[in-house]
């Protein structure tokens, strides 16, 4: 019941907001609606924390399972469950939604009711994606998620919002419909071996699929997820969507939506089609590395802060995909950790950019300069988040990137070497941007007398900064719950690799070990 509650609590709150908003766009009720939405989001966050508290992190199995027949003739179930990987992403979603709502507290004025509705509906769909263990149910949430995001960009975005919104929805949908065909084909494959179709993920894990089938189905899944990540060269929707989205949309887009791509690869594409995954891993990793360097280089020359952060996401998510492709403990654990880190720090960066653009109504770096003297507290928060984003030790980013590079090195040192240059480049573009915005004299008269952090902004900044440091200092709090689950997924993929080595008996292995040590 707990999982259903977590998924549908935001939706219930969303409907409540619609009701409380009354007919039409009534500004006098905006405050009520805002508070209701925030309350719902906080309650959902509390519920996700309770979930974590109740979670048994020693077990690799899915927990809090809920299984109800939905369309029994077709093997479709309402089947939910969490393991260590989805657990943390659920908590991240719960954590970022209240911050997203707070970030638009003042900047969104028109139709607050609909805005709150879409944010909360989006949260429901995102949580649904992370807990679904039935592929059909997963696809329902996956596709349903596009609609609220489309409206968030299209209604409350900046100048080119309609173009960005339509591009976002068509691009992502084009990728995911092919996955739908692959999902159907999987169910049909299940019915030809077991007599009845099934969309249950655990049933489908057990299928023995032919090479060709795996190949095509993996491609269909991988394209859907690669667009979401977004992996180079499927990333072109992202800068548009990010730049045009309102701050809240950007926070959620960067913080949670992009993680669905990497989560999907790890949960669905890799373990369902292990042979294809091993075959394609170097290719995906190559694209990831290209993305790391390309994203960093393009980010460097952006005049617009939001676009810069958007391209930095392409680069950072490339690192995450590289870690997944390594398919070893360090790499995958680092990836999941980095998903969380990126959610916190890039979400934080978008939040800061949003604060600046609320004050000055521009996001151009050249319009700023010398903010340190004007808004010291905001700049301090900006600095910490920037450092977290470039992975300074003792911030969250360091742990994730270090593990990923370690894992990648163990797999293929070349990839690690190239990826490391991306890490260096990220320091270049982030610090350069930070310097141009915050240091030097205040040249632009508009920048004089800007407000420093308001109490509402403190409420957003403190959790993000605290998490950035907390996750960097005590990463084990986050690494430990996912360990068993990550281990199991890697086992599933790597163990089912076609046998390449001779079977070695324990006695022979011992002999070899003795021989090796001499």
Interface contacts to another protein, rule CB under 8 A: 23-25, 70-74, 111, 136, 139-141, 143-144, 146-147, 150-151, 154-155, 161-162, 165-166, 169-170, 173-174, 177-178, 180-181, 184-185, 187-188
Report, in Å, the least distance between residue 31 CB and another protein.
20
Distance CA(117)–CA(376), nearest Å, equals 35
Enumerate residues 6+ apart whose C-beta is below 8 A from 120.
Answer: 10, 11, 13, 14, 17, 37, 40, 41, 97
Cβ nearer to another protein, comparing 173 with 373: 173
Report, in Å, the least distance between residue 6 CB and another protein.
18
Cβ nearer to another protein, comparing 184 with 329: 184
Distance CA(429)–CA(444), nearest Å, equals 22
CA-based nearest residue to 356, from 464, 434, 255, 469: 434
Distance CA(125)–CA(123), nearest Å, equals 5
User: DSSP state, 160?
Assistant: T
CA distances from 110 to 106, 116, 135, 423 (A): 10, 11, 37, 40
Quick check: helix, strand or coil at residue 375? coil
Cβ nearer to another protein, comparing 217 with 479: 217
Residue 428 CB neighbours (<10 A) = 14
Cβ nearer to another protein, comparing 18 with 32: 18
Cβ nearer to another protein, comparing 166 with 484: 166
Report, in Å, the least distance between residue 428 CB and another protein.
38
Cβ nearer to another protein, comparing 22 with 206: 22
Cβ nearer to another protein, comparing 176 with 341: 176
Phi, psi of 418 (to 5 degrees): -65, -40
Cβ nearer to another protein, comparing 21 with 94: 21
Distance CA(1)–CA(301), nearest Å, equals 49
Q: Which two tokens stand for residue 147?
A: 């609609």
Cβ nearer to another protein, comparing 174 with 513: 174
Report, in Å, the least distance between residue 260 CB and another protein.
15
Determine the longest span between alpha carbons in the chain, in angstroms: 82
Report, in Å, the least distance between residue 71 CB and another protein.
5
Report, in Å, the least distance between residue 367 CB and another protein.
27
Instruction: Give me the residues paired with residue 279 across strands.
Output: none
Report, in Å, the least distance between residue 320 CB and another protein.
27
Report, in Å, the least distance between residue 353 CB and another protein.
23
DSSP one-letter string for 87-155? HHHHHHHHHHHHHHHHHTTTT--TTHHHHHHHHHHHHHHHHHHHHB-BHHHHHHHHHHTHHHHHHHHHH
Enumerate residues 6+ apart whose C-beta is below 8 A from 370.
Answer: 438, 439, 440, 441, 442, 443, 447
Burial of 507 (0-12, 13-18, 19+ CB in 10 A): exposed
Report, in Å, the least distance between residue 202 CB and another protein.
21
Report, in Å, the least distance between residue 139 CB and another protein.
7
Cβ nearer to another protein, comparing 165 with 374: 165
């Amino acid at each position: 019941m707990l999982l259903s509650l977590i998924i549908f609590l935001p939706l219930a709150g969303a409907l409540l907001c619609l009701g409380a908003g009354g007919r039409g766009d009534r500004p006098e009720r905006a405050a009520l609606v805002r508070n209701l939405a925030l309350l719902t989001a906080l309650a959902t966050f509390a519920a996700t924390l309770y979930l974590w508290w109740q979670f048994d992190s020693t077990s690799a199995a899915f927990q809090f399972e809920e299984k109800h027949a939905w369309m029994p003739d077709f093997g479709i179930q309402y089947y939910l469950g969490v393991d260590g990987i989805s657990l943390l992403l659920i908590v991240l979603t719960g954590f970022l939604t209240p911050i997203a709502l707070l970030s638009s507290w003042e900047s969104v004025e028109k139709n607050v009711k609909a805005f709150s509705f879409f944010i909360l509906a989006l949260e429901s769909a995102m949580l649904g994606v992370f807990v679904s263990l039935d592929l059909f149910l997963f696809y329902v949430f996956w596709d349903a998620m596009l609609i609220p995001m489309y409206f968030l960009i299209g209604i409350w975005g900046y100048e080119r919002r309609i173009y960005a919104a339509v591009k976002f929805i068509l691009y992502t949908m084009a990728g995911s419909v092919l996955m739908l065909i692959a999902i159907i084909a999987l169910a049909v494959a299940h019915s030809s071996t077991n007599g009845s179709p099934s969309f249950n993920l655990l049933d489908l894990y057990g299928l023995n699929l032919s090479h060709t089938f795996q190949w095509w189905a993996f491609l269909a899944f991988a394209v859907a997820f690669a667009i979401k990540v977004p992996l180079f060269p499927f990333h072109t929707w992202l800068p548009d969507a990010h730049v045009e989205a309102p701050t809240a949309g950007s926070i959620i887009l960067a913080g949670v939506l992009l993680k669905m791509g990497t989560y999907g690869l790890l949960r669905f594409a890799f373990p369902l089609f292990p042979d294809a995954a091993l075959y394609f891993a170097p290719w995906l990793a190559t694209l990831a590395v290209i993305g790391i360097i390309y994203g960093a280089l393009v980010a460097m020359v952006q005049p617009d802060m939001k676009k810069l952060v958007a391209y930095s996401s392409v680069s950072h998510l490339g690192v995450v995909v590289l870690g997944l492709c390594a398919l070893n403990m360090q790499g995958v654990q680092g990836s999941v950790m980095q998903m969380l880190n990126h959610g916190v720090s890039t979400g934080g960066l978008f939040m800061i950019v949003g604060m600046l653009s609320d004050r000055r109504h521009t996001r151009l770096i050249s319009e700023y300069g010398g903010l340190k003297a004007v808004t010291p507290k905001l700049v301090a928060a900006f600095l910490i988040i920037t450092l977290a984003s470039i992975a300074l030790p003792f911030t969250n980013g360091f742990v994730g990137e270090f593990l990923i590079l370690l894992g990648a090195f163990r797999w293929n040192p070349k990839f690690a070497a190239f990826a490391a240059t991306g890490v260096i480049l990220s320091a270049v573009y982030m610090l350069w941007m930070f310097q141009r915005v915050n240091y030097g004299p205040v040249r632009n008269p508009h920048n004089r007398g800007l407000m420093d952090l308001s109490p509402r902004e403190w409420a957003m900044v403190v959790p993000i900064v605290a998490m950035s440091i907390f996750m960097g200092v005590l990463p084990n709090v986050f690494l430990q719950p996912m360990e068993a689950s990550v281990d199991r997924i890697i086992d599933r993929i790597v163990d089912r690799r076609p046998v390449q080595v001779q079977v070695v008996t324990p006695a022979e292995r011992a002999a070899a070990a003795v021989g090796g040590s001499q």
